[in-house]
Structure 1
Amino acid sequence: MEHKKTYYQKELTTPVGHLLIEGPVHAEQLAQYEFHNDLVAFRPASTQHQALIEIALLPEGRIIIARSGQTIIGYVTFLYPDPLERWSEGNIDHLIELGAIEIIPLFRGAGVGKNLLIVSMMDDAMEDYIIITTEYYWHWDLKRTGLNVWEYRKIMEKMMNTVGLEWYATDDPEICSHPANCLMVRIGNRIPPESVQKFDQIRFMNRFMY
């Protein structure tokens, strides 16, 4: 199930500069913008730039960006879960994953992440999705921030809560491998009960395997 992607934008003034938050952006737009060299949380910046362009080409792919002039300094991605992960099982038509959110260090703490999520949720079509995000502590920038896993998780969870993503229990082995890891979920207000039931079943796939 794909929706027409309705474009939204919001201006944000921060202590270190003025930003435009916009999206979902087309692949052609992404290709034209510069991609900041500090966006290296997941892979080298040039490789990640190309990955975002490829996500934007997917029917369900949604990329929201924060840019300073023509330079992308932050982004959030939405796409269907990886086919190798349990979240792609269960034939849930309405499930999409918040796959990544990243902001360069210069703009952290200025509300950029929260506003990326706010712009993401401006589209009424998001009420037709179960949105999940799987948070793993090994993706967190603990070294640069100086925070421990629990401090970082508290900040991350508070940011996700601003747009209705809430902590959900699961027996997924990778999430259960460390107590700071977590599954966060937002269930759109037009999701049918049978889809919620299917989702609950894949959250707890191992409940009878003793």
Structure 2
Amino acid sequence: MKHNKSYYKKELPYEDRTIILEGPVTGAEIEKLEYDEGLVAFRRPKEQKKALIEIADLPEGRINIVRDGNRIVGYVTFLYPDPMERWSEGNIENLIELGAIEVSPQYRGIQVGKNLLRLSVMDDALEDYIIITTEYYWHWDLKGSGLSVWDYRKVMEKMMNAGGLIWYATDDPEISSHPANCLMVRIGKRVNQDSIERFDRLRLQNRFMY
């Protein structure tokens, strides 16, 4: 996806003010904003902010953020799958990955994640794409949430469902390594049958799973 992406914005009530959900934002816009110290799921805050700037400036990169005033308190990333992963092997040009979604702990419980995903799929351009996300339990904040791995999985599934992503079977070894891990997918309305069939071959490489 090129950078002529449509911009979307949504306000969400929070305490005595509103927080802004918006995007896609550019690397320059991210650089100007502060970055919440509670966003630590993937890297230290300083390093993750740098990673978001780099993703935003990729030709296909897309970052949507949650902003409380001048501070990023949540984000979701979209980009091509990692070249080291199975999902890049099929050379499916219209396959992109929801690489990460994170909301700072103090903003959880008001459906920020669900609303961020709903905002993300408002863009008609995404109807040309297969969106995947690979959910691994070791990225989940089990300690902070107090949830069991299965309860957290249910929360993650419901949140992804809000963006139109649903569970798909796969024999990918990393996903199959734990039963709570899962592949979730959204197939855009304009994705052709050839892309869907190539994706099916990619996610199920062991014929006995068909």
TM range (shorter): over 0.9
Which residue of structure 1 aligns with residue 193 of structure 2?
A: 193
Corresponding residue for 2:72?
A: 72
Q: Which residue of 1 aligns with 2:21?
A: 21
Alignment correspondent of 1:101? 101
SS at match of 2:207: coil
Match of 1:54 in 2: 54
Instruction: Specify the alignment match of 1:84 in structure 2.
Output: 84
Shift of 1:16: 6.9
Query: Quick check: 2:120–2:163 contact (8 Å CA) kept in 1?
Result: no
5 Å-filtered alignment, 1:139-150, equals 139-150=139-150
* Equivalent AA in structure 2 for residue 152 of structure 1: Y
What residue is the counterpart of 2:129 in the other structure?
A: 129
Q: Deviations over 1:13-61 (max 9, x none)?
A: 0247420000000111000000011111001000000000000010000
- Structure 2 stretches of 5 or more lacking a match? none
Per the alignment, residue 160 of structure 1 pairs with 160
Q: CA deviation at 1:206?
A: 2.8
Q: Report the identity percentage.
A: 66
SS of the equivalent of 1:132 reads strand
Alignment partner of 1:111 is 2:111:
yes
* C-alpha distance in 1 between matches for 2:182 and 2:16: 31
Give, in angstroms, the shift of residue 110 of structure 1.
0.8
Task: Look up the SS of the partner of 1:9 in the other structure.
Answer: strand
* TM-score, normalised by the number of residues in structure 1: 0.96
**1:141/1:37 Cα in 2 relative to 1: closer, same or farther (>3 Å)?**
same
CA–CA distance in structure 2, aligned partners of residues 70 and 43 of structure 1: 21
The CA RMSD measured in Å over matched residues stands at 1.4
1:6 aligns with 2:14: no
Unmatched 5+ stretches in structure 1:
none
Give the C-alpha shift of residue 93 in structure 1.
Answer: 1.2
- Give the letter aligned to residue 124 of structure 1: D
Q: Is the 8 A contact 1:16 1:107 kept in 2?
A: no
State the alpha-carbon separation in 2 of the partners of residues 26 and 127 from structure 1.
22
Deviates more, 1:74-83 or 1:8-17: 8-17
1:92 partner amino acid: I
Cα deviation 1:100-149 (Å, max 9, x = unaligned): 00001000111110111011111100101000000000000000111001
Query: How many residues align structurally?
Result: 209
Instruction: Measure, in 2, the Cα distance between the counterparts of 1:186 and 1:17.
Output: 33
